[in-house]
Structure 1
């Protein structure tokens, strides 16, 4: 297996990189000096007004209750609408499938030993108080 060897880079690419770095370093302070604040007047009617607009009850309810409810409905539609269009069932049917005993005997309870006598603990769970 052979590994291709890349030729060494010529000196002019190193010089070009160095010139590019110097140009960026020199342009940064120049751009910072050019960014001066805008010289604009305050629009008429904005200077010194202290009146506050108080929204009425209907506007406040629409803003604080209506907007979140609308957002909830839109998200619910985005989630459920594609499934409804495809005709999928959205609610579980609660059909009981075959029970699974993970880690239990493969043949079901037939493999479990039967109790030998009164004091035997074989055959299932038991509890005493």
Structure 2
């Protein structure tokens, strides 16, 4: 097999592959031409306004409900929910009820108090 024959075969294979890709793209992009099957209803066309209300209104309504479920309880408790509000200092959920001074600190090198005593 010579170099020109090999080059010709590669070009033919490339052209065949390109032809398959282009024709499959045109065939797949063609609209469907099937009729509505017997026994199925033929629905009325949907107006643009109705489509906008369904596709835009329902997500906006869900967004508003989720926002209300998240923010309204905090607002009712009197918390600030703005972006620049101060962060809560010293909040420890499930921790000591009075102050952090209730926790025992390590009082020596061999003390087991004040941590999980993790070892590597």
TM interval, shorter chain, is 0.3 to 0.5
Larger radius of gyration: 1
Structure showing the higher helix proportion among its residues: 2
Give the alignment's TM-score, normalised by structure 1. 0.33
Q: TM-score, normalised by structure 2?
A: 0.35
